Structure 1
Amino acid sequence: MHFDGGLKLSIAQHSSAGQKSVNEDSLGIRVPDDEQLTTKGAVAVIADGVSAAEAGKEAAETCVTGFLSDYFSTPDSWSVKRSAQQVLNALNRWLYGQGQHYLQAEKGYVSTLSIAIFKSQTAHIFHVGDSRIYRLRDGFLEQLTRDHAMPIGRGQSYLTRAMGLDINLDVDYRAADVAVGDVFLLSTDGIHDVLSSAQMQAIISDNELDHAAQCLLDEALAAGSDDNVSCQLLRVDALPLEDAGDVYRKLTALPFPSPLSVGMVLDGLVIESEIHASPRSQLYQVYDASADRHYVMKTPSQNFNDDPAYIERFILESWIGRRINSEYVIDVVEPPKAPSCLYYLSDYCSGLTLGQWMLKNPKPATQAMLEVILPAAKGLQAMHRRDTFHQDVKPDNILVGDDGGVKIIDFGSCYVAGLAEIAVPIERDKVLGTAQYSAPEHVLGRRPSAKADQFSLAVIVFEMLTGQQPYQGRLQNCTTTAAFSRLEYVSACHYNPHVPLWLDAALSRALSISPELRYNDVSEFVYDLEHPNPEYMKNEFQPLLTRNPVRTWQGISLFLFVCLLWSLMR
């Protein structure tokens, strides 16, 4: 990938039982030598098994080995925070469960845990217990974590938080910026409880890295430490911040394809027809004779052949598509030959876009609508599970196949949390979704979330059932918070009296201008579309005056007008 590599660390770590017969500390560092260094980062972990716990040593070892193994097994589209928290919660539940074999949980599998994950230009810190993480910068040693311990006198304390101590885990998290020359220190209390910050700072500053790590252990023992002593040192030697020219050269390693026409052959693929063309890209139906298989080829527009931000987004489309595994999302496939130019392939599925389907099926029955929307929602859920938000959910990006299958297509506007954490020295392309289907937070430039895709899906449902856009079609004209706040929801029942009130209530919630008022997940929204919510059913039995006072008074006025005309004609 164009942002691969660049991060370079020098590392050293030492551990000793010290005055004790058993070393209950555990530590480990993993620096991948492949793409994972970019997508997942480098990880340092240190753990201190609680001495009072009978399985403290086993708990510390499990924390270190389990985290270093499982973290790198999480999807590379996930953010660091989501990946780490998923692994930590699973480890904690296992430790707590093992600890139930003991009469008291705190006597079982209990350990402190401190983790530093270096990704791009950020150090992600996760911490529970009284081990510590420091950062030495410009001669100043700063403690980045706080101890979760309660003093009980005579230099003793007990842990208030630790791995395996409670079924519910509360981990401190912070993101710290990283600069070349920074040195990060991870230590157990056998060192930092007896050495001052000034002493540790001097040792690290005055010695080569490996020697400094050993000196920290020796000085702590010499100062009277009666505990296990362990530390890790990581110095940042280089960061993945290339200049824009370097990135541009990587992005343009493959040239843009020449204009294609029917009958041409590119890398063994025969161009059969042009499916769609826009100012940003072209779609072609192509045929691979060697595999007797049809594909859809997407090519970039020549309008952007010198635009690195556009090229990066185009390249990432195929990267994203290959990482979503769902029968409801179009498959991006490997080309039969190494590409000679910039394009990517996806499965070919014959059928209509949902936009075309809606023209042929205006105001469908609820069941017909659900047969399309439920699979589309499952496709979005598959993307959300990968920390990926589509951001351009609209009828033209949902394919209704001739076989009845439904698939989400087009990854051109996707937000991927794991990629957003990787800094590049170019201004990234921010492609907004289609205005009339976009959630307000997209337009207002707020943080992306799955609730924005839910909003867009609700717009589609509203349009399918009514033939109209919600908010009287005024969404696309709003560009400010004040403009959105002036919008008023008009019931779907106003346009289509066959829409049940409970279904309209579900639409109203999913179409809330404020994301906080929508459903927590798209699955909750579609469940309420399919199963009448008892809370919404109450409206079915309310008087018309309560349910729709405007329509009630309009009806009364019409009746009185007719009566007046009748009396005048007598």
Structure 2
Amino acid sequence: MIFASDLSLSVDQHSIAGVKPRNEDCIGVRIPDRETLQLKGAVAVIADGVSAAEAGKEASEACVTNFLSDYFCTPDSWSVKNAAQKVLQALNRWLYGQSLRTLNDDKGYVCTLSILVLKSTQAHIFHVGDSRIYLYRNGELEQVTTDHTARVDAERTYLARAMGFSPNLDIDYRVLEVQAGDLFLLSTDGLHDFVPHSQLRERLREAAQTPFQGLAADLLQTALQAGSDDNLSCQILRVDSLGLRDADSCCRELSRLPFPPPLEVGQSLDGYRVDRILHESARSQVYQVTDMETGERAVMKTPSLNFVDDPAYIERFTMEEWIARRVHNPHVAGLVPCKRARSCLYYLTEFVPGAPLSRWIRDNSRSDIHRVTRILEQIVKGVRALHRKETLHQDIKPDNLLIGNDDHVTLVDFGSCRIPGVEEMYLPIERERALGTASYSAPEYVLGAKATTRSELFSVAVIGYEMLTGHSPYGEAYEKAASPTALAKLKYTPAYHHNPMVPVWMDGALKKALQLDPRRRYDSFSEWLQDMTYPNSRLMPDSALPIVERNPLAFWRTLSGILLLTQLATLLWLLHLLR
């Protein structure tokens, strides 16, 4: 992966109890190493324990220390919003649970919380309560958070939202574009309630261009002299440089390794012998190779020479290896580390014995429905392994699924994956938007709408339909439908029209997953698999539908049983006559 920015920050922070006997505020900053800084960003956290809650100090310390720890433990592929919100939801539930357990002791684990995450060229702000975050830029000071307070009268207010207040956390989130020279101030009410906005602006103006170590402590002393009767805390972060690289610099790094030439069976590259050519296209080549030192088999993917001067293509190709390294699941092809220095651009994944699912479909048309559901369960496990990393595959199709003789299924090829956490990172070249295969992609891809996990569900459901019937759910016209009008003319064909052994309730599950409007599909894969395995009465058609269409399997079993009884009765009658 290429890093196109190198964020540089200056930090100053201070926290004191003030006139109170103990300090219930808590502050923390973490600026990680360069790679983690690129992937996760730098984080500043400030929390103010609610004085009316006996465990306010414990709550603020838990929020700051645990967020700074847990946020950096989330997957690198997660977006800042997803990672932070998941950590905050867990922290909030823990605080609320602690309050419930100590209810009789009048100990409430409640605090305000404001978080600043600086990643690449963006500032991500999370906020609940009445602590604040300010942005100073070009001589102007702006409060970028909103106080969550409600006024009782002209002099009194109370906190309306905070961490630990309720099991369901309502936290503000916003994103700001960052410029070099920006200065962020995080503070608790012991400071900003006693130092006027204009005075804060003037003090920060001094820090915008000069070293400002000690300014945080000076601001707190100013608030104390103004009569602050609360704990006081503040943090100051200045963006010294974004360290943005230009396109030429990024292209040079992306082109550091040359493209390998097309390989033939028997040739070797870096100690890997080509045993078989698995796939060749205009975009890449895939080979089955053997490590000549160890005898281990692997799969090598190389870029196509057609894109040797395309930096966006190269960036996406290198991203495939990055994804494979981070996903560990028996139904996803894993990365094989290169044991020797690479002389050119390629990567290795584990060798999976088996054939593409497309071939299996051709050889097993109208397969047993129970076998199909077992295969679909494995596909879903592989896809959900990517989703847990907040990664969309975006090209789920039979050719990208390998099935072994034991029906074990493995998902391969990460060339079209979308990763929100990576998209947040600055890149001076336009990223390549690789799309999947039209016949298996959800309509939102064609219409330019945002793809979600429901889009992936559509693709898996198309595969399920094809495994059961050998046909496409909307026919050949689906591939050509490129507008809302064309899509509106499509008509779903029930699976049991192609394969009478498909129960109506199973077709109902397929039909719901294959809705052209993503809002009408299932919310989750698990719900869909449940309905694919067990009849859901809500998916049944009108009772007037003949039983042969409602449940063909039951119909033919019943009819066969009746015919068998009839034949036995006839046989007994003939034997009786012969006596």
Name 2:562's counterpart in structure 1.
Answer: none
- 2: CA distance between counterparts of 1:521 and 1:240? 41
Cα offset, 1:41, TM superposition: 0.7
Name 1:12's counterpart in structure 2.
Answer: 12
Select which of 290, 293, 296 maps to 1:293: 296
Deviations 1:130-178 (A, max 9, x none): 0001111111111111111122336332211111121221111111111
- 2: CA distance between counterparts of 1:484 and 1:43? 46
Name 2:193's counterpart in structure 1.
Answer: 193
- 2: CA distance between counterparts of 1:228 and 1:177? 31
Select which of 452, 463, 466 maps to 1:463: 466
Name 1:76's counterpart in structure 2.
Answer: 76
Cα offset, 1:496, TM superposition: 2.1
Decide whether the 8 Å contact of 1:203 with 1:215 is kept in 2: no
Deviations 1:11-55 (A, max 9, x none): 111111111121111100101113111111110000011112111
Decide whether the 8 Å contact of 1:113 with 1:163 is kept in 2: yes
Spell out the pairing of 1:341-352 with structure 2 (5 A cutoff).
Answer: 341-352=344-355
Over the matched positions of the two proteins, sequence identity in percent amounts to 52
Cα offset, 1:306, TM superposition: 0.5
What amino acid maps onto 2:415 in structure 1?
A: G
SS of residue in 2 equivalent to 1:12: strand
Cα offset, 1:538, TM superposition: 5.5
| Closer/same/farther in 2, CA of residues 534 and 412 from structure 1, 3 Å limit | same
TM-score by length of 1: 0.93
SS of residue in 2 equivalent to 1:436: coil
Name 2:30's counterpart in structure 1.
Answer: 30
Moved more, 436-445 or 484-493: 484-493
- 2: CA distance between counterparts of 1:341 and 1:232? 47
Select which of 249, 253, 261 maps to 1:250: 253
Decide whether the 8 Å contact of 1:132 with 1:188 is kept in 2: yes
Runs of 5+ in structure 2 lacking a partner? 551-579
Name 1:500's counterpart in structure 2.
Answer: 503
Deviations 1:88-125 (A, max 9, x none): 11111111122224337984211110001111111111
Select which of 396, 399, 402 maps to 2:405: 402
What amino acid maps onto 1:234 in structure 2?
A: L
- 2: CA distance between counterparts of 1:83 and 1:75? 8
Name 1:108's counterpart in structure 2.
Answer: 108
TM-score by length of 2: 0.91
| Closer/same/farther in 2, CA of residues 109 and 145 from structure 1, 3 Å limit | same
SS of residue in 2 equivalent to 1:437: coil
Select which of 383, 390, 401 maps to 1:387: 390
What amino acid maps onto 1:453 in structure 2?
A: E
Name 2:326's counterpart in structure 1.
Answer: 323
SS of residue in 2 equivalent to 1:483: helix
What amino acid maps onto 2:545 in structure 1?
A: P
Name 2:55's counterpart in structure 1.
Answer: 55
- 2: CA distance between counterparts of 1:336 and 1:365? 44
Name 1:477's counterpart in structure 2.
Answer: 480
Moved more, 492-501 or 327-336: 492-501
Moved more, 470-479 or 68-77: 470-479
Moved more, 500-509 or 260-269: 260-269
- 2: CA distance between counterparts of 1:104 and 1:39? 44
Cα offset, 1:546, TM superposition: 14
| Closer/same/farther in 2, CA of residues 272 and 545 from structure 1, 3 Å limit | closer
- 1: CA distance between counterparts of 2:53 and 2:180? 40
- 2: CA distance between counterparts of 1:521 and 1:416? 19
What amino acid maps onto 1:116 in structure 2?
A: L
SS of residue in 1 equivalent to 2:327: coil
| Closer/same/farther in 2, CA of residues 542 and 210 from structure 1, 3 Å limit | farther
Deviations 1:321-342 (A, max 9, x none): 1111111111112112122211
- 1: CA distance between counterparts of 2:7 and 2:496? 57
Residue 378 (structure 1) aligned with residue 381 (structure 2): yes
Moved more, 519-528 or 102-111: 102-111
Decide whether the 8 Å contact of 1:96 with 1:105 is kept in 2: no
SS of residue in 2 equivalent to 1:470: coil
Select which of 357, 360, 364 maps to 1:357: 360
Select which of 528, 544, 551 maps to 1:542: 544
Residue 182 (structure 1) aligned with residue 171 (structure 2): no
What amino acid maps onto 2:99 in structure 1?
A: G
Runs of 5+ in structure 1 lacking a partner? 549-570
Name 1:151's counterpart in structure 2.
Answer: 151
Cα offset, 1:547, TM superposition: 8.1
What amino acid maps onto 2:520 in structure 1?
A: L
Moved more, 90-99 or 308-317: 90-99
Deviations 1:170-197 (A, max 9, x none): 1111111111111111100011111222
SS of residue in 2 equivalent to 1:415: coil
Cα offset, 1:240, TM superposition: 4.8
Decide whether the 8 Å contact of 1:101 with 1:108 is kept in 2: no
Decide whether the 8 Å contact of 1:105 with 1:165 is kept in 2: no
| Closer/same/farther in 2, CA of residues 270 and 363 from structure 1, 3 Å limit | same
- 2: CA distance between counterparts of 1:187 and 1:154? 23
What amino acid maps onto 1:463 in structure 2?
A: E
Decide whether the 8 Å contact of 1:43 with 1:68 is kept in 2: yes
Cα offset, 1:314, TM superposition: 0.3
- 2: CA distance between counterparts of 1:497 and 1:245? 60
What amino acid maps onto 1:183 in structure 2?
A: L
Displaced runs of 4 or more, over 6 A: 545-548
Decide whether the 8 Å contact of 1:269 with 1:289 is kept in 2: yes
What amino acid maps onto 1:384 in structure 2?
A: H
| Closer/same/farther in 2, CA of residues 106 and 413 from structure 1, 3 Å limit | farther
Cα offset, 1:209, TM superposition: 2.6
Decide whether the 8 Å contact of 2:56 with 2:110 is kept in 1: yes
Select which of 516, 520, 524 maps to 1:521: 524
Moved more, 185-194 or 365-374: 365-374
- What is the count of residue pairs matched by the alignment? 547
Moved more, 316-325 or 470-479: 470-479
| Closer/same/farther in 2, CA of residues 190 and 215 from structure 1, 3 Å limit | same
Residue 238 (structure 1) aligned with residue 238 (structure 2): no
Name 1:567's counterpart in structure 2.
Answer: none
- 1: CA distance between counterparts of 2:97 and 2:118? 31
Name 1:488's counterpart in structure 2.
Answer: 491
Cα offset, 1:58, TM superposition: 1.3
Name 1:435's counterpart in structure 2.
Answer: 438
Name 1:446's counterpart in structure 2.
Answer: 449
Name 2:39's counterpart in structure 1.
Answer: 39
What amino acid maps onto 2:366 in structure 1?
A: K
Residue 214 (structure 1) aligned with residue 201 (structure 2): no
